[in-house]
């Protein structure tokens, strides 16, 4: 009996060793991130492995463990990339930031890039024209303008003809301003929704016949705020959440056409979406001008002016290396089996996990520590109330 048990334990250890080696090799070779490697499946396997180790005499448990190992190994995505050269991709918001970098990156890879810009004569467009190859075409494209979307579609249609459009990357976006949701003017909510969501939906609707013809890819740059509540991002997060759900539904709708849909949820990267400090100062005045007297009195001007410092804080903690986002965008566009969701950047996977799988108070505690907006100062009426209570 002991011999049988020893043999079972040896078999268990041998399978575990082989499985671990093959899994690590496959994950490394295909550059699979932990969030795309089925974390839940891995945890389940570890639990099953522990059970089977202590119950090694039970052949059924051991057999189940071996089969689970094999199933998990084959579930790891393989990084098989399709040819990129000659495929046509439209990118919105290429004046600066991520869209600008992605347009240059894809051009270097031989992709036929249509770079949508807000200003064809602006510095960002001029730089693309100077640096990139003749394959890249600048497209005047304000995603909030129906006429510009139609004109862009007609121009691209005449270029791609029967080949269709391989990819659309919805990158154009605005942040508006970072403040308590009560303080944000309705104009900021409208601007975020118009650019971040409705503009993307309008572009998708207009270009979809070309995308279906190519059986291509629809890729959207959403945000970590699109599926995780972040203090101060009420307008921006709502618009990105709408974009995220839109893409989730479109993935189901377009499956029958052979079009694959992916959403990228980056964390903090240094782009022009934060705007300049001068722009935030102007937004301060806009907020103050639109507040009622009682709200202004409850929050106090000191609190409102303190929000301006968040611009510098956000810029300081944001990463200037856009490589993780560029790699995920390329994978979404050209991988044979792209993921439906990507989370590049620091904490972009951890923070949503805290929100989804832990008690809400755990997430709220960490959110208060991580995000700056509620750490440094309280609204005027709350400060006065605390002072009064402490004095009593």
User: Which residue, 75, 103, 134, sits at the end of a domain?
Assistant: 75
Q: Which residue has the higher pLDDT, 384 or 335?
A: 335
Q: Which residue has the higher pLDDT, 298 or 75?
A: 298
Query: In this structure, is residue 28 part of a structural domain?
Result: yes
pLDDT of res. 30: 57
Residue 164, φ and ψ in degrees, nearest 5: 75, -175
Q: Of 353, 333, 85, 350, give the one whose Cα is nearest residue 220.
A: 333
Query: In this structure, is residue 223 part of a structural domain?
Result: yes
Question: What is the total count of domains within the chain?
Answer: 2
Q: Which residue has the higher pLDDT, 181 or 319?
A: 181
Q: Which residue has the higher pLDDT, 281 or 173?
A: 173
- Measured CA to CA, the distance from residue 221 to residue 239 in angstroms comes to 12
What does the block give as tokens for 349? 């996977």
Global pTM reads 0.80
pLDDT of res. 269: 77
Q: Of 316, 315, 303, 323, give the one whose Cα is nearest residue 279.
A: 315
Mean per-residue pLDDT for 39-47? 54
Q: Of 195, 211, 207, give the one whose Cα is nearest residue 261.
A: 211
260 and 293 housed in the same domain: yes
Q: Tell me if 56 sits within 8 A of 8, measured CB to CB.
A: yes
Instruction: Indicate whether 169 pLDDT > 70.
Output: yes
Tally the residues of the chain: 392
What does the block give as tokens for 184? 């944000």
62 and 110 housed in the same domain: no
Mean per-residue pLDDT for 194-220? 97
286 and 358 housed in the same domain: yes
Of 28-37, 113-122, 246-255, 300-309, the range with the lowest mean pLDDT is: 28-37
227 and 362 housed in the same domain: yes
| 127 Cα distance to chain centroid | 26
Q: Tell me if 341 sits within 8 A of 261, measured CB to CB.
A: no
Instruction: Indicate whether 258 pLDDT > 70.
Output: yes
22 and 111 housed in the same domain: no
63 and 122 housed in the same domain: no
Query: In this structure, is residue 389 part of a structural domain?
Result: no
Give the strand pairing for 260-264 and 88-91.
unpaired
pLDDT of res. 380: 85
CA distances from 375 to 269, 307, 312, 360 (A): 21, 11, 15, 19
280 and 175 housed in the same domain: yes
Confidence band (pLDDT; 50, 70, 90) for 191? very high
Q: Of 340, 346, 338, give the one whose Cα is nearest residue 321.
A: 346
Helix (H, G, I), strand (E, B) or coil at 253: helix
Residue 120, φ and ψ in degrees, nearest 5: -65, -20
pLDDT of res. 79: 62
Task: Catalogue the E-assigned strands of 317-376.
Answer: 341-342
Query: In this structure, is residue 383 part of a structural domain?
Result: no
Helix (H, G, I), strand (E, B) or coil at 170: strand
What does the block give as tokens for 361? 């108070």
pLDDT in tens, 234-247: 999 999 999 999 99
Which residues are the active-site residues? 236
Sign of CA dihedral 13, 19, 22, 28: negative
pLDDT in tens, 355-385: 888 899 988 888 877 775 555 678 888 888 8
- Measured CA to CA, the distance from residue 300 to residue 202 in angstroms comes to 40
Query: In this structure, is residue 381 part of a structural domain?
Result: no
Percent with pLDDT over 70 in the chain: 75
25 and 94 housed in the same domain: no
User: Which residue, 48, 75, 102, sits at the end of a domain?
Assistant: 75
Query: In this structure, is residue 140 part of a structural domain?
Result: yes
- Measured CA to CA, the distance from residue 122 to residue 145 in angstroms comes to 18
pLDDT of res. 63: 64
pLDDT of res. 209: 97
131 and 173 housed in the same domain: yes
Query: In this structure, is residue 390 part of a structural domain?
Result: no
Instruction: Indicate whether 332 pLDDT > 90.
Output: yes
Helix (H, G, I), strand (E, B) or coil at 26: helix
300 and 178 housed in the same domain: yes
What does the block give as tokens for 177? 């301003």
54 and 201 housed in the same domain: no
- Measured CA to CA, the distance from residue 37 to residue 21 in angstroms comes to 15
User: Which residue, 12, 45, 75, sits at the end of a domain?
Assistant: 75
Per the structure, the complete domain to which residue 123 belongs is given by: 88-374
Query: In this structure, is residue 260 part of a structural domain?
Result: yes
pLDDT of res. 154: 96
62 and 111 housed in the same domain: no
pLDDT in tens, 125-153: 999 999 999 999 999 999 999 999 999 99
Q: How many helices (H) and strands (E) does the chain have?
A: 17, 7
In the chain, the N- to C-terminal Cα span, in Å, equals 75
Confidence band (pLDDT; 50, 70, 90) for 321? confident
Confidence band (pLDDT; 50, 70, 90) for 259? very high
Could you give the maximum distance between any two Cα atoms of the chain, in Å?
A: 83
| Residue 49, C-beta contacts closer than 8 angstroms, at least 6 positions apart | 12, 16, 65
Instruction: Indicate whether 326 pLDDT > 60.
Output: yes
Percent with pLDDT over 90 in the chain: 46
Q: What is the CATH number of the domain that holds 323?
A: 3.40.50.720
Mean per-residue pLDDT for 89-100? 95
pLDDT in tens, 211-224: 999 999 999 999 99
Q: Of 275, 102, 262, give the one whose Cα is nearest residue 173.
A: 275
Instruction: Indicate whether 3 pLDDT > 50.
Output: no
Helices 2-29 and 39-54 meet at what angle, rounded to 10?
160
């Amino acid at each position: 009996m002991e011999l049988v048990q020893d043999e079972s334990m040896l078999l268990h250890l041998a399978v575990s060793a082989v499985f671990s080696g093959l899994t690590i090799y496959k994950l490394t070779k295909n550059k699979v991130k932990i969030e795309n490697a089925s974390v839940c499946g891995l945890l389940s396997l570890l639990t099953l492995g522990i059970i089977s180790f202590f119950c090694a005499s039970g052949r059924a448990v051991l057999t189940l463990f071996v089969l689970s190992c094999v199933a998990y190994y084959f579930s790891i995505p393989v990084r098989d990339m399709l040819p990129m050269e000659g495929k046509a991709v439209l990118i919105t918001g290429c004046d600066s930031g991520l869209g600008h970098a992605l347009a240059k990156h894809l051009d270097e890879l031989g992709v036929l890039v249509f770079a949508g810009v807000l200003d064809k004569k602006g510095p960002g467009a001029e730089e693309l024209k100077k640096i990139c190859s003749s394959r890249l075409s600048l497209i005047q494209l304000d995603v909030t303008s129906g006429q510009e979307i139609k004109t862009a579609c007609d121009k691209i249609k005449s270029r791609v003809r029967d080949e269709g459009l391989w990819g659309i990357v919805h990158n154009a976006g605005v942040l508006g301003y970072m403040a308590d949701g009560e303080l944000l003017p309705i104009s900021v909510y409208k601007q975020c929704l118009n650019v971040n969501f409705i503009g993307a939906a309008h572009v998708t609707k207009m270009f979809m016949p070309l995308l279906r013809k190519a059986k291509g890819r629809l890729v959207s740059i959403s945000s970590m705020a699109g599926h995780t509540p972040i203090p101060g991002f009420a307008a921006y997060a709502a618009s990105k959440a709408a974009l995220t759900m839109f893409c989730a539904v479109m993935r189901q709708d377009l499956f029958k056409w052979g079009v694959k849909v992916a959403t990228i949820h980056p964390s903090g990267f240094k782009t022009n979406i934060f705007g300049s400090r001068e722009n935030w100062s102007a937004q301060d005045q806009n907020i103050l001008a639109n507040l009622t007297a009682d709200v202004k009195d409850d929050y106090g001007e000191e609190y409102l002016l303190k929000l301006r410092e968040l611009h510098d804080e956000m810029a300081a903690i944001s990463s200037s290396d856009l490589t993780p986002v560029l790699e995920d965008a390329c994978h979404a566009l050209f991988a044979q089996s792209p993921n439906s969701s990507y989370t590049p950047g620091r904490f972009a996977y951890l923070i949503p996990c805290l929100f989804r799988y832990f008690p809400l108070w755990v997430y709220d505690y960490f959110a208060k520590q991580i995000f700056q907006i509620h750490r440094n100062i309280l609204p005027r009426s709350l400060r006065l109330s605390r002072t009064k209570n402490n004095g009593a």
